Homo-oligomer: A and B are copies of this chain.
Amino acid sequence: MPTAVPSQGSPAADSPGAVVDLLGALAYAELSAFDHLADDAGLAPTLGGRAEMSSMAAVEFGHFRRLADRLVELGVDPEAAMTPFVAALETYHSLTKPSTWLESVVKAYVGDGLAADFYREVANFVDDATGSLIREVMTEAGRAEFAVAEVARAIEEQPAVAGRLALWGRRLVGEAISQTQHVLADRDSLTRLFVEAAGDLSGVASMITRITDRHGERMQALGLDS
């Protein structure tokens, strides 16, 4: 795997290392999302709900395939590119393993939405082909409607559920941030990409604000405090 050694003056985004790391992280994020959504589908109270969550899993697998194909095009073994990110992503999933169907629905919408916003921000600072691919695979078509309907129905039946799910949403954010920090501490090329992408500290702050705002909008759509 190429290592990240950007030449002087060139942005880290131009280094093959940063792009490969980004694609590798994202590819494993999709493969593990597939795995965990397929698993969580087993929590569904109905075959219809199970099919809905399985469908999200299948979509994530399609995204994984496109990202892995792109890595192959770049002459990189997808397995090698993903390996550095396995531990952080599996830790995130093990610390946010849903114990109820509603927790799995909120995770599929809120947790994956948060990750998508993060990757979309980063997509603005890599080469056009990589950026377009990331934006394409980071769509969440249809997922919101399903989650909102499931959660709204549950809250109507049992209002107390809203408080528990709001806490769950906060836990998802906390663990996502924590694992992202671990990855950045570990991968210099991604940290450089991230900081250069944001421009300066105020850029970093406004990126975090944008991501946080969109998270709040999703929680609001679900009828939950963020």
A residues neighboring B (CB under 8 Å):
28, 31, 34-35, 38-39, 41-42, 46-48, 50-51, 54-55, 57-58, 61-62, 64-65, 68, 78-79, 82-83, 86
Contact = CB atoms under 8 A, between A and B. Distances in A.
Contacts of A48: 78-79
A51 B46 CA distance: 28
Contacts of A58: 34, 57-58, 61-62
Number of copies: 2
Given A54-B61, A61-B55, A79 B47 contact: yes
Given A38-B38, A38-B39, A39-B38, A54 B31 contact: yes
CB-based closest 9 A-B pairs: A38-B38, A58-B61, A47-B79, A58-B58, A48-B79, A54-B61, A34-B54, A47-B82, A31-B51
Given A31-B54, A55-B61, A57-B57, 18 more contacts: A31-B47, A31-B50, A34-B54, A34-B57, A34-B58, A35-B38, A35-B41, A38-B39, A38-B57, A39-B39, A47-B78, A47-B83, A47-B86, A48-B79, A51-B78, A54-B64, A58-B61, A58-B62
Contacts of A38: 34-35, 38-39, 57
Contacts of A86: 47
17 contacts: A28-B47, A34-B54, A35-B41, A35-B54, A38-B38, A39-B39, A46-B79, A47-B79, A47-B86, A48-B79, A51-B64, A54-B61, A55-B65, A57-B57, A57-B61, A58-B58, A58-B61
Contacts of A61: 54-55, 57-58
A31 B31 CA distance: 19
Q: Is the interface of A mostly helix, strand, loop or mixed?
A: helix
A68 B54 CA distance: 13
Contacts of A55: 61, 65
A86 B54 CA distance: 16
A103 to B, nearest CB: 19
A118 B79 CA distance: 36
